[in-house]
Structure 1
Amino acid sequence: MTTVISSKPQENSAKNLASVSLPSWLEHKLGNWLANKLTKFIESQIPANARLLDMVSSFQQGQCLYVVAKLKVADCLVDSPKHIQTLAEELKVQADPLARIMRYLCELGIFGQDHLGRYTLTQVSELLVSYHPQSLRPVVLLYNEETYNVWANLLHTVKTGENTFTSTYNTPFFKYHSLYSDFADIYNQSMASLSILLDQAVAEDYDFSVYRTLADIGGGQGNLLRQIAERYSSLQCILFDTQAVLTAEVKEQWQQDPMDNRVKLQIGDFFQSVPTGVDAYLLKNVIHNWPDEQVVQIYKTIHQAMKPQSRLLLAETVIFDHDAMQRMKLKLDLNMMVIHSSKERTVKQHSELLETAGLKIVKIVPTRSHLSVIEAKPMNSY
C-alpha cells in the first residue's frame, strides 16, 4: 500500500523534532536499575494468567507499530495535530481500522490526543518520523517483516540447532542481504539508527588517546570511526570492510569528508587478512554475528597482524550476573541464535574464545549503553 507522504523533510518540520541524547552516567545506571526493579515489581502484582496472556499477545503491539510506521502516520503529524478522518484521507486508508489502532497506541503512550480529539506526536512517536535524524522507523519495519517471519519458526532452531533465518528463506542471512536490495536497505538503515547512541557511548566512554593508529574492522560506512576521529585529532584510522559495504558511493562520501586525510578505506575479508602493525583493532557488534569457530578464526587473523603491544578492542554485549540490562541482553542473544546461529556471550565465553586464538583480556570497560569494550592483548606481549 502506498502513501501520499513524501520521505523528504520540510526544513521547518525537521526543526520541530527533538533529538535523543546519551544519558549521563547517573541517568544510565539509576535509570536502568529503577526500570528493572519497577518492572519486576509490577509483574509480581499481576495475576499469572494475565501475565501469560499479555506476553503471548505482545506481537500485536509490534504489528500495530508496523502499520503506522509503514504508512508514515508520524510524518503526517509533524506540522500539526489531525483528526482521524484527515489522516485516513491523506494516507488513503479506512478511517475506522486506523482509529482503533491509534486509540490503542495512544493508550500505550505512543501517540497523544489534544482536547479536540486530534492525534499528536509524543517523544516516542517522533522517532517514527521517517526523516528524524535518529528515526527508528526502519527498525520497526525490519522487525515486523523478515525478522517477524523468522521468529514465527523459532521451534525449528530448538529442534535442530540450526538458525531459523536460513530455514525460513532457504538462504543464510548475509547472502540474503546481498541478494535482496530492499531488505539490505532497510537492514542498513536500521543498524545505522540503532548505532547512533551506541557509537557515541563507545567513542566517549573508552579512552582511545593511548593509540596512534586504529583500524575499525568490519566498520561499515564508518559512523563509529568518524565519532572517534572527531574526538581524537591525532589518531590515524583505517576503515576496513568488504567491497559490498565500501562501495564507490561510500568512498566518494569519505573523499568529501573533512576526516578523509586521517581515515583510509581498505577493502578486505577479516577471515583472510586485516591491516598489519596497527596499535588497536576495533570490532563493534561483529563477534556476536558469528558462531564460535568463525569467531576464533577472526581472532587468529587479527592476532597474526598485531604487534606485541597492539590491542584488540571488542565493543560487544557482555552478559553479567545481576545486570539491570540482563533482560534486553538475553533477548538480543535469542535474536542472534535465530538469525545467525550465534550468541551474546558471558565474560567466560569471551575469554575462552580469545585464549584459543592466543589473546587474553586486559580489562572490560562499560559504556552508557548495553555494550562494553573488551580490551585484549596477545598472550606473549609485555
Structure 2
Amino acid sequence: LIFTGLQAQTPDSEERRWEGSTLYIRCPYTGGANYRQQKAWCRVRDDVCEPLVETNYPYQKATKGKITIEDNPLHKTVSISMTNLQAEDSGTYSCAYRSRSYNYLPLKTISLSVFKELHRWELDSLSLQCPYRTFGYSTGTKVWCRKGQTGCKDLVRTDSTEHNSRALEDRTMIQDDTQKRTVTITMQKLQAQDTGVYWCALARGTRLTWIMEVMLFVSKRLSGTTLSGTAGSSETTPSVNTPAPSANVNTFTVLSGILSILFILAVISSIILCVRQRKQLKNRGNRQAEDTYDKQEDVAQLDSTERMESPKDDSKDLKYVAMNFKSQRSPEDPLYCNVEPSQAHRKLKDENVEYATIALK
C-alpha cells in the first residue's frame, strides 16, 4: 500500500536506540482520522507502507510479536511500543490510519537507528554481518565507513558490477552476498584508535543510505595480560563488567564472617546438647539407684564380734565363730541377704537364721 502523494516525505523525527532497548512513540490524530478507523504501525520501504500491526475496531489494542499498538479515542492518540530492538530494525516507520478508500495515510513518520555496541581488546579481530531486506540494495555498492564531523569516511567498498564482490583495504575486508542479502565486515588487528562509530551503508552516487550503525570500543591490554587463544579471535571481548579486586575481597570477608558465626553457633548448640544429655543420664541413674538400694542409714553395720574358742586349750584351731549384726535404727530389724543353697548351714538351735527360696516368674 502506497502513501499517496508522499513519495519523498521527510521523517518527523530521528530516533536512536541501543540494541535490546525499547521504543515508545505517540502519534496524535486530528482532522480526517477518527476512533473508528483502523490504526497501523508501518515500516516504510520505497514509499510503501508495510503494516506490522494494526487495530481492529471496536478493539483498541493489538499486539504482534514484540510490537504493541493502542488507540486512545479520548485523547485521540495512538501509542506504539517496540521491545528488544535489534540492529536490523533500523529503518523508516510511520503511524498511519486507513482512509475510506482503504489507503494508509501517515500520522507521524520517524527514522529509527538501532546501533550495536561492540567491545574488543587490542589485536583482536571483528567480524560483523549487516543484513539488508530491500531487494533493490542487491545491485548497489556497499560501503564500510567511519563517521566523523565532516561525514562518513570510506574505509572499504565493494564493486557494484559484481554480484558477490569482495574488497580488502589495509586491515579491513568487506564482502557482499547478494543471495543471502548480507554484507560481512572483517577488521583485523584492532587498535585503540579504531574506537568510533561506523556505518555499513549503501552508496548511490555521493549519497549514503545506512544499513547498520555500530559503536566500536577497543581497549588497551594491561601489561602482563595473557592472551586466551589467538590474538585475532573475534570472540574475545573485554570484561568491562568484571568486578574490581576490592569488591572480591569485600565479598570474601563477608562470607568468612557469616561462616564463622554459623560455626560458633553450631559449637554452642553441640555443647548445650551434651550438657542436657549428661544431666538426663545422671538423673536416670540416681532414680535407678534409689529403687535398687536402701538408704545409707539402713545399711547394717558390724556391732560386735564374739569369738568362741575352746576354754581349755587356746592353741587349738578355731571351731566356730558367730557374728551378730544389728541395725543402726533398731536391734529388732531383721537383716536380709542372698545366699546360694550350697552355702546355707544347717540350722542350729542357738542361731536365729531363717532360709527361704524365692522363685521369679
Bigger radius of gyration, 1 or 2?
Answer: 2
TM-score class, shorter? under 0.3
Q: Greater share of helix residues, 1 or 2? A: 1
Q: TM-score, normalised by structure 2?
A: 0.26
Q: TM-score, normalised by structure 1?
A: 0.25
